[in-house]
Amino acid sequence: MKINEALYSYFSEQVDQIAKEWIETMEDSDPNSIYSLTNPVITEELTEQDKEFYRHINKMYIMPVKEFLEEFERWVIELAKDQKHLDTPVQYVVREFMRNRRLYISYYDAFADKHESSFAEGERKKWENLIAQVFDFTIYTFVDHAEHNSKMQLNAQREMILELSSPVITLSKRTALLPLVGDIDTERAKFILENTLSTCAKRLIEHLLIDLSGVVVVDTMVAHQIFKLIEALKLIGVTSTLSGIRPEIAQTAVQLGINFSEITVKSNLAQALNYHQ
């Protein structure tokens, strides 16, 4: 039997034992970590995942390196999508990959010591280098794709928060309310403009009440964006009524040279609602 085939056979037989030893030597008290082993179901899933990891890695002995890495990369990318791993701090995941590497190499060394005469000159080092390369590849690929997936999740959550914080609420068949609350930065102002225009067009809104009483701070940029929204709404046939304009907002608007003459303004939301009844 060739040495690569012998290595494949040996490690295939050791999969359960290596995974068992990895689990038994795990020490993680962080409840936010998948490796805390507080849930028997998750522990079982983690054990099976580790066995699958070894089964994939063992193919390096019987497949061309390029072909092996391409197939193995697909598996690691899928692992990087696992929510439990995404919820675990990445340094913990890297730590466990490194523990796996040390454990795996210890088994390799035990095999190599026992079958020293079966290795051609320099062959033992060659396989040891490949093992290190594969584990390095695993860590890099996982971290790269996990970071990408985490960013995608954060962006999705950010968009959801923006949408929830700037809702267009339908009051009647042709009238809707946009209650603005909290701080408005450049990103949120851009979202408000795009989302409001899109929603009003889809719902065939003709009158939009924009209430500013919940806006904490209004600077030059915010005031400009609000009136930019009103002008854009006008272009798609939507008339706007402003309510809740505090003195500092009015002062900023005047400094910008914004003309209120063509905009219906009410002192508070109740008056604006009554106006459109």
155 lies in the same domain as 177:
no
**What CATH number should be reported for the domain holding residue 27?**
1.10.490.10
At 108 the pLDDT is: 95
| More confidently predicted of 200 and 261 | 200
Contact 6, 115 (CB under 8 A): yes
Contacting residues for 225 by C-beta, under 8 A, at least 6 apart: 184, 189, 190, 192, 193
Q: Where are the alpha helices (DSSP H) in 115-212?
A: 123-165, 186-203
Tokens of 69: 């890495």
Per-residue pLDDT averaged across 207-231, rounded?
80
- Pair 166, 188: CB distance under 8 Å: yes
Average pLDDT over residues 269-273: 77
Q: What is the pLDDT of residue 185?
A: 77
Boundary of a domain, candidates 160, 183, 218: 160
Whether the pLDDT of residue 164 is over 60: the answer is no
- What does the pLDDT read at residue 115? 92
List, for residues 52-94, the tens digit of each pLDDT value. 999 999 999 999 999 999 999 999 999 888 888 878 888 888 8
pTM of the model: 0.61
* Cβ 59 vs Cβ 71: under 8 Å: yes
Of the three residues 137, 160, 183, the one that is the final residue of a domain is: 160
Is 90 in the same domain as 26? yes
C-alpha span between 137 and 129 (Å, rounded): 12
Number of domains making up the chain: 2
Q: Are residues 154 and 183 in the same domain?
A: no
State the residue range of the domain holding 173.
169-275
